[in-house]
């Protein structure tokens, strides 16, 4: 069984501005895909992203195996809400 680590790196605009201005040893770099990522030195440590991006999550989950996709989209909700 696959283990899926689901958590967020949700940062406010103010926090990211502060990091840009004086965040050493942390800083933001633009990745080849055009998205920013937080680095410590040359090591990527976090990817800021849009919170509650349901359309994005559904699009990304399309690439998963059907049983994994079902577990994320429906299985967790059924288990958590006992439905």
Start-to-end Cα distance in the chain: 23
Characterize the bridge pairing of strands 43-46 and 36-40. Answer: antiparallel
SS3 state at 17: helix
Mean model confidence pLDDT for the chain: 79
- Whether residue 6 has pLDDT greater than 60: no
Of 6 and 10, the structure prediction assigns the larger pLDDT to 10
pTM, rounded to two decimals:
0.47
Give the separation between CA 65 and CA 28, rounded to whole angstroms. Answer: 33
Give the separation between CA 71 and CA 79, rounded to whole angstroms. Answer: 10
For the chain, which residues make up each domain, given as ranges? 9-49, 52-83
Residue 21's pLDDT band (boundaries 50, 70, 90)?
very high
């Amino acid at each position: 069984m696959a283990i899926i680590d689901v958590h967020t790196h949700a940062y406010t605009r103010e926090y990211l501005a502060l990091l840009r201005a004086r965040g050493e040893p942390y800083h933001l770099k633009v990745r080849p895909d055009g998205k920013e990522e937080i680095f410590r030195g040359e090591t990527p440590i976090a990817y800021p992203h849009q919170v509650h991006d349901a359309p994005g999550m559904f699009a990304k989950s399309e690439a998963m195996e059907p049983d994994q996709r079902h577990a994320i989209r429906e299985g967790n909700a059924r288990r958590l809400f006992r439905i």
